[in-house]
Amino acid sequence: MNVVLVNANTVKPPLAPLGLLHIAAYLKSKKIPVEFIDLGPAQDIPAALRRAAEFRPDLIGISIRNIDSTQMKQSQYFLPAVFDVIKTVKARCPEVPIVLGGAGFSLEPIEIMRLSQADYGIVGEGEAALCQLIRKLEAGQDPGAVAGLVYRNSNGDYSVNPPENAAGDFLQNLPFQDVTAVDYDYYYNEGGMASIQTKRGCALKCNYCTYPLIEGRYYRLFPPKRVVDEMELMVSRGYDYFHFTDSIFNVPRRHAMEVCREIVKRRLPVKWHTYMSPRGFDEELADCLLRAGNDGILFGVDSCSEKMLRETGKNFRKKDIERAAAVCHRLGLEFSLNILFGSPGETWETAQETLAAVDAWRPTAAYLTQGIRVYRNTPVYRRLVSEGKLDKNRSLLEPYFYFSESLPADFSERLRQYALTRDFVFSDVTSKSPHTNKDVSALYKRNFRGPCWKILKELKKTASRNS
């Protein structure tokens, strides 16, 4: 059975389609012919999609990585463009079944299936599930029992099978992402980094987060040797700056330490950044990170208010953030505090507590955003429904944001003034988003690398020189 995989993500700066590259590698390891159509670098999307028919596919898989940009003040809605891709593919290959997947699809599978009229979908991880679907269709068998499958049932509506996320032994033997399937130079040179995972899943309970919904609520670890084997291969291809895409790199702590020690053991010449938790962050871990090439830590703390840390479901407290900041300062580790204002219970007093802590702890950078993007089945969704603030039947495909009613009407202006008077602070009302700003690609083309705050600082310098 010939399979075409389509990466429908065209966001700039571009992000390599890590999940789809793992799927391509896995299917090829099972002797399934795969053609990859990557719309990321495509200048003419209809022309790129014409290749789908040329391959004479028996199944076409389309990945939906993100529904939107998740930022209230800089919101972008991606699904209309994805629906156009699906429509074009259906017109080109009207008899070929289409299967949808990806992190964005897994959040609202039934509504996306209804709107797109695709034949199948897969929620959760796609490697084993897609392979099972292909084998069932090859044999002319009913695929209805495939784990994670979304399909039209006998009533004409859609059913969703519970996903079965891969166990550790499966991940240990999972082929490396197939970087040859795409123009990886394009992603590295214009996106600024190579992407890699050390684990899947998240056992934490942050109120708005979708990681547990997409990847499962427990950790499944890639062996440290396998992680660094993959890094070593990518370094041999010229990619030596990495972003670990884990929800939180240092949970579990022991696994993070083992990955770092393996990098050090091999003297791998790499730099990298990632998200981390301040809980249990000490000098032993920080020293290990430095020796392994860490180029920046993003602490996604969301708040520095004791009350709001409890409200948002964090498993650390204000003292943990303070200690982590002190360790970073002592050892010379650059770090950012990423703050998200507006969760239920947020007031001007809790916001002031956070801003005062940012001033006191003086991170390398602080990035301040507003508004909680609400996704179905998250803790904040259930709370807002139970409090009568959100209709449970409301569609959540188009971006819906909650912003605490207890914050003052001029909160955005107060935040803007705070950010403008501090050169290490960036906010969604004073800075362009490093995740959607096309100007960033120009920096990457000059071999500029680094976490988002380095990008924002460089953009600020460029703007100052040009003013």
Question: For 304, how many CA atoms within 13 A lie in the half-sphere containing its CB?
Answer: 27
Query: How far is it, in rounded angstroms, from Cα 215 to Cα 201?
Result: 4
Residues in the chain: 467
Q: Is residue 288 a contact partner of residue 310, using CB atoms and an 8 Å limit? A: no
How high is the pLDDT of residue 168?
81
> Looking at the 3D structure of the chain, how many domains does it have?
2
Tens of pLDDT, residue by residue over 71-128, are 999 899 999 999 999 999 999 999 999 999 999 999 999 999 999 999 999 999 999 9
Query: How far is it, in rounded angstroms, from Cα 217 to Cα 309?
Result: 20
Same domain, 20 and 113: yes
Same domain, 211 and 88: no
Query: How far is it, in rounded angstroms, from Cα 207 to Cα 379?
Result: 5
Tens of pLDDT, residue by residue over 272-305, are 999 999 999 999 999 999 999 999 999 999 999 9
The Cα-based distances of 329 to 287, 320, 391 in angstroms read 12, 14, 46
Q: Is residue 269 a contact partner of residue 316, using CB atoms and an 8 Å limit? A: no
Same domain, 203 and 140: no
The CATH number covering residue 51 comes to: 3.40.50.280
Q: Across the chain, what does the average pLDDT equal?
A: 94
Same domain, 113 and 231: no
Residue 236 lies in a domain: yes
How high is the pLDDT of residue 461?
72
Residue 447 lies in a domain: no
How high is the pLDDT of residue 29?
98
Residue 415 lies in a domain: yes
Residue 443 lies in a domain: no
Residue 335 lies in a domain: yes
Residue 460 lies in a domain: no
Same domain, 425 and 283: yes
Tens of pLDDT, residue by residue over 202-215, are 999 999 999 999 99
Residue 426, domain extent = 193-430
Residues 210-225: what's their mean pLDDT? 94
How high is the pLDDT of residue 437?
58
Residue 339 lies in a domain: yes
Query: How far is it, in rounded angstroms, from Cα 336 to Cα 426?
Result: 11
CB atoms within 10 A of CB 144: 13
The CATH number covering residue 211 comes to: 3.80.30.20
Same domain, 150 and 229: no
Q: How far apart are the first and last CA of the chain?
A: 58
Same domain, 368 and 268: yes
Instruction: Check: pTM over 0.85? Answer yes or no.
Output: yes
Tens of pLDDT, residue by residue over 159-173, are 999 999 888 889 999
Same domain, 227 and 99: no
Same domain, 222 and 327: yes
Same domain, 318 and 421: yes
Same domain, 315 and 224: yes
Residue 11 lies in a domain: yes
Same domain, 50 and 91: yes
Tens of pLDDT, residue by residue over 107-123, are 999 999 999 999 999 99
Tens of pLDDT, residue by residue over 399-457, are 999 999 999 999 999 999 999 999 899 999 886 555 445 677 677 777 788 887 787 77
